[in-house]
Chains A and B, each alone.
Chain A
Amino acid sequence: MAGTETEATGARDGSLPARAKIAVTAGRVAAAVSRKAGRGSGSVIGGKIALRLDPDLLATLADHLDVILVSATNGKTTTTRLIAEALRAAGPVVSNALGANMPAGITSALAGGSDARFGVIEVDEKYLAGVARDTRPKAIALLNLSRDQLDRAAETRMMAEKWREGLKDSEAVIIANADDPLVTWAASSCKKVVWVAAGQAWKEDAWSCPACGGVMQRPGDDWFCQDCGFRRPNPHWALQGTHVVDPQRGAWPIQLQLPGRANLANATSSAAVAAVFGVAPQVALERMQAVTAVAGRYDVVQYQGRDIRLLLAKNPAGWLETFSLIDGPPTPVILSVNAMDADGTDTSWLWDVDYERLSGHPVFVMGQRKLDLAVRLEVAGLQFHVVDSLEQAVRMAPPGRIEAIANYTAFQQLRKVVAG
């Protein structure tokens, strides 16, 4: 169960400088007030107040920890959780397990105290360079980069450039996905890199060489630029089928409760991270097996007497991975899409998703932007029903477990509805 990772124990407060202590206490008070007012966990507001009182607080808190940062467009919350589980084999872990991944939320998670040895921290892509500077991590896992919320985020290659600039002097071991040219570009100026062949289903953001702009050649799993010679590095670790292959060519079966190829990739990267801290792959993988739902993702819930699996997909790469893990036809599929600020207000990305792959499934569309979805599915030549609520979709769906795929705020709404 997520949410139990950052419980305040206060054990370490005694060793903090006075200013940091005051900031941590003020942050806790603010968080408690916010919680009482029913405004969520209060971790973000608490962190903001604490950082205002002591701008160096994040660095101070991180000073006592072996910090591991995890960033990506997709899979960072799950991978953070997998790494945290694996590293518990070596010592206590503190983590921002609920996905509050900007500096305030991270500060709050670390201030949650504990006598942790490891801080396993998910970081929003845009904040990675800054958080890496403040927390002086021992390891940084870079999983993937693809288009996401282009109406407000930086362009994808610019993000890779920011990572490259921000991490080039880092002393951390960088664990990077060699199958993602943008991630490779970001990591290739770093001092110590462990390359992981973790795969990448979505290729549409890396047809252009991030180094020189040449057209990327992508035969099979390989990739290279004919113009400048930038190419896929030889991986130290690899995902092969359902096995992790380690640098000594040992192959270890991955047995996860989490579904899908993307999570096999996340487990592979997590095993490589764990090895940096002396945790052997078989030990790491065995611990990862305990992870079920992560912040509600992949959770199978009961609603109106039916089983529904809740799947989060926020961008084209995420939808692509999600389609590959759902049960085949005639499993009913519910799609829900919103376009609030947290989702990105531009829905153009729906056209980068191959909804044609849902052919044969009974499909129900809902959410704030159900009409955008309806046009998308009509053009894909699919049969579908437009519905106003989950209740209506479930009532109309033929028997069997239902797959519900939703983007960020739509997913939160589905969780609320099924929780009653």
Chain B
Amino acid sequence: MSESSLRLVWVYPDLLSTYGDRGNALVVERRARQRGLNVTRIDVRSDQSVPTSGDIYLIGGGEDRPQRLAAERLRQDTGLVRASENGAIIFSVCAGYQILGHEFINDLGEREPGLGLLDVWSTRGEGARNVGDVLADVDPRLGLPQLTGFENHQGITHLGQGVSPLATVTVGGGNGTGDGTEGAWRDTVFGTYLHGPVMARNPAVADMLIKLALDVNALPPADTTWYDALRAERIAASRQPA
């Protein structure tokens, strides 16, 4: 990327933007601009091809049928896979997270191939849906504070050897595997079940993506007063027994 610009690609807002996913794009964009970066945001609709020259790719949550359509179109398009091969940063949420894996269960109850960018596969839980606030401790190698968010999913995501859990839940269901893991990551590809949206509740995640894109260890400070107040409130609330 050029020194002062950032290309932010939001993948398929027409299909995968059900749970306020636009918030992740807005927060990354805002925090990059606050650091003086020139941000180009590219919203790619599912009848357009995914550009391979982006720095950060966001892919969000969606309903079951749009999720299948998105997987079909992304497999056919190959832009996201090629971008990933070039080392692009990809952050995925919920349905988007499942699509990045090897396979998931689609709206027809069938196994639907994903993109295989994360070594995970998803099945459908038999029990109650995981709905509610989540609190999770992030993989210490990422140097991030506690994650707070809101989950709403029936899926269970199993992690293979090629990824690490993004976090370990202290409240909430996370991957739904019963071992307390939440999300997955490897290199510059991330997946999580948290929306809320996750960047609004965890601006440090947005900052991490920007740092990865710029290949720097630190960014100039940007105010987090309201984010901090919201975090404190949600963290306290999620610790209250329901």
Residues of A within 8 A of B (CB): 147, 150-152, 155-158, 204, 207-208, 213, 215, 345-352, 371-372, 374-376, 378-381
B229 contact set on A, CB distance < 8 A: 371, 374
A-B contact count (CB 8 A): 87
**Residue among B17, B18, B46 with most chain A CB within 10 A:** B18
> What CA separation (Å) do A152 and B21 show in the bound complex?
18
Among listed B60-68, B78-86, B112-120, interface-contacting one: B60-68
Contact B65 A213 (CB under 8 A): yes
> What CA separation (Å) do A155 and B22 show in the bound complex?
18
| Least Cβ–Cβ distance between A248 and chain B, in angstroms | 38
Contact B227 A150 (CB under 8 A): no
B132 contact set on A, CB distance < 8 A: 345
B233 contact set on A, CB distance < 8 A: 371
Contact A375 B226 (CB under 8 A): yes
Give me 21 A-to-B residue pairs in the complex whose CB atoms sit less than 8 angstroms apart, sorted by A's number: A150-B19, A151-B152, A152-B131, A207-B14, A207-B15, A208-B46, A208-B65, A208-B66, A213-B65, A213-B66, A213-B68, A215-B47, A346-B19, A346-B152, A348-B150, A348-B196, A350-B20, A351-B26, A371-B229, A379-B30, A381-B30
> What CA separation (Å) do A379 and B25 show in the bound complex?
11
Q: Which of A152, A155, A345, A372 contacts B63 (CB 8 A)?
A: A155
B132-160 interface bits toward A, Cβ cutoff 8 Å, 1 = contact, 0 = none: 10000000000000000010100000000
Contact B230 A204 (CB under 8 A): no
- Size of the B side of the interface (Cβ < 8 Å), in residues, is 34
Residues of B within 8 A of A (CB): 14-15, 17-23, 26-27, 30, 45-47, 63-66, 68-69, 131-132, 150, 152, 195-197, 200, 226-227, 229-230, 233
> What CA separation (Å) do A26 and B117 show in the bound complex?
63
> What CA separation (Å) do A152 and B152 show in the bound complex?
9
| Least Cβ–Cβ distance between B194 and chain A, in angstroms | 10
Contact A351 B20 (CB under 8 A): yes
Identity of the chain A residue whose Cβ is nearest the Cβ of B232 in the assembled complex: A371
B21 contact set on A, CB distance < 8 A: 351
> What CA separation (Å) do A150 and B95 show in the bound complex?
15
Known: A204-B17, A208-B14, A348-B195. A375 touches B64 (CB 8 A): no
Q: Which of A147, A156, A351 contacts B200 (CB 8 A)?
A: A351
> What CA separation (Å) do A290 and B27 show in the bound complex?
45
A157 contact set on B, CB distance < 8 A: 63, 65
Contact A348 B197 (CB under 8 A): yes
B18 contact set on A, CB distance < 8 A: 147, 150, 155
Contact A150 B152 (CB under 8 A): yes
A381 contact set on B, CB distance < 8 A: 30
Contact B150 A346 (CB under 8 A): yes
Contact B200 A374 (CB under 8 A): no
Identity of the chain A residue whose Cβ is nearest the Cβ of B14 in the assembled complex: A207
Contact B46 A151 (CB under 8 A): no
A372 contact set on B, CB distance < 8 A: 200, 230
> What CA separation (Å) do A387 and B68 show in the bound complex?
44
Contact B63 A156 (CB under 8 A): yes
Q: A215-B47, A380-B26 are in contact. List 16 more A-B contacts (CB 8 A).
A: A150-B19, A155-B18, A155-B63, A207-B14, A207-B45, A208-B15, A345-B150, A346-B150, A348-B23, A348-B197, A349-B20, A351-B23, A351-B197, A374-B229, A378-B226, A379-B200
Contact A155 B14 (CB under 8 A): no
Contact B230 A374 (CB under 8 A): yes
Known: A150-B152, A346-B150, A351-B26. A208 touches B69 (CB 8 A): yes
A346 contact set on B, CB distance < 8 A: 19, 150, 152, 195-196
A155 contact set on B, CB distance < 8 A: 18, 63-64
B131 contact set on A, CB distance < 8 A: 151-152
| Least Cβ–Cβ distance between A387 and chain B, in angstroms | 14
A215 contact set on B, CB distance < 8 A: 14, 45-47
Identity of the chain B residue whose Cβ is nearest the Cβ of A381 in the assembled complex: B30
| Least Cβ–Cβ distance between B143 and chain A, in angstroms | 22
Known: A208-B15, A376-B200. A348 touches B20 (CB 8 A): yes
Q: Which of A150, A348, A374, A379 contacts B27 (CB 8 A)?
A: A379
A349 contact set on B, CB distance < 8 A: 20
